[in-house]
Amino acid sequence: MKRNIIDPKSLELNDKVVAIKRVSKTVKGGRTMRFSALVVVGDGNGHVGAGLGKAAEVPEAIRKGKEAATKNLIQISMDKNNSVPHDYTGKFGSSTVMLKRAPEGTGVIAGGTARAVLELAGIKNIRTKVLGSTNKVNCVLATLEGLKAMKTPEQVAALRGKTVEEILK
């Protein structure tokens, strides 16, 4: 998996625990209980990441999830009113998250899993809808996939060798 090189030390990251699950493994002596924590980190300025941590104790699982999330930071593109540049559908597994542009003053209209990612990314105006599976891990990763795939008009113009005005017609 190709990772974007973003130095997490240069960013002031906030974190949010999206889900904590108790998982058990049956062994010869009985069941062993462990915890799995899904953590999202972001700086509120276009950088966001998600990670999954697993440990015997909840605080340790959260710490591991936060470390994994900082390793998976991505940079996203936003337009001038802190929304996404265009509508897009992110997919991961059987979860699909529709991300739709919204005008200034709309706010973040999203479910709990997508809301955590969008707020920590710094997006202020957006409408979303989760389709398919509502598995929390897959919804977070589908939202990240959708945000990662977004391109600004300037990026599209550079790829096509045209001017921004030609693209926006």
CATH number at residue 12: 3.30.160.20
Task: Judge whether 162 lies within some domain.
Answer: no
Best CA proximity match to 151, nearest among 61, 97, 75? 75
63, 111: one domain = no
Which token pair is 134? 């509502």
57, 82: one domain = no
Task: Judge whether 18 lies within some domain.
Answer: yes
- C-alpha 145/C-alpha 70 separation (Å) is 16
Task: Judge whether 122 lies within some domain.
Answer: yes
Q: What is the pLDDT of residue 62?
A: 96
Q: What is the pLDDT of residue 47?
A: 92
Q: What is the pLDDT of residue 35?
A: 96
- C-alpha 155/C-alpha 169 separation (Å) is 16
Which token pair is 17? 């625990």
107, 53: one domain = no
Q: What is the pLDDT of residue 168?
A: 80
94, 45: one domain = no
- Contacts of residues 149-154 at CB distance under 8 Å and 24 or more positions apart, as own/partner, are 149/88, 149/90, 150/76, 150/77, 150/84, 150/85, 150/86, 150/88, 150/99, 151/77, 151/85, 151/86, 152/77, 152/79, 152/85, 153/85
Task: Judge whether 117 lies within some domain.
Answer: yes
Distances (CA, A) of 2 to 72, 74, 144, 169: 10, 11, 14, 33
Contact between residue 43 and residue 75 where contact means Cβ atoms under 8 Å apart: no
Range of the domain at 68: 8-74
Q: Which of 36, 59, 74 is the last residue of a domain?
A: 74
Give buried/exposed letters for 119-143 (b at 16+ CB in 10 A, else e). bbbbbbbbbbebeeeebbbbbbbbb
Query: Whole-model pTM?
Result: 0.89
Quote the number of domains for the chain. 2
103, 130: one domain = yes
Torsion of CA 25, 31, 33, 38, to 10 degrees: 20
Q: What is the pLDDT of residue 5?
A: 64
63, 93: one domain = no
Q: What is the pLDDT of residue 79?
A: 87
41, 67: one domain = yes
Task: Judge whether 167 lies within some domain.
Answer: no
Q: Which of 30, 51, 74 is the last residue of a domain?
A: 74
Task: Judge whether 40 lies within some domain.
Answer: yes
For the chain, which residues score pLDDT lower than 70? Answer: 1-5
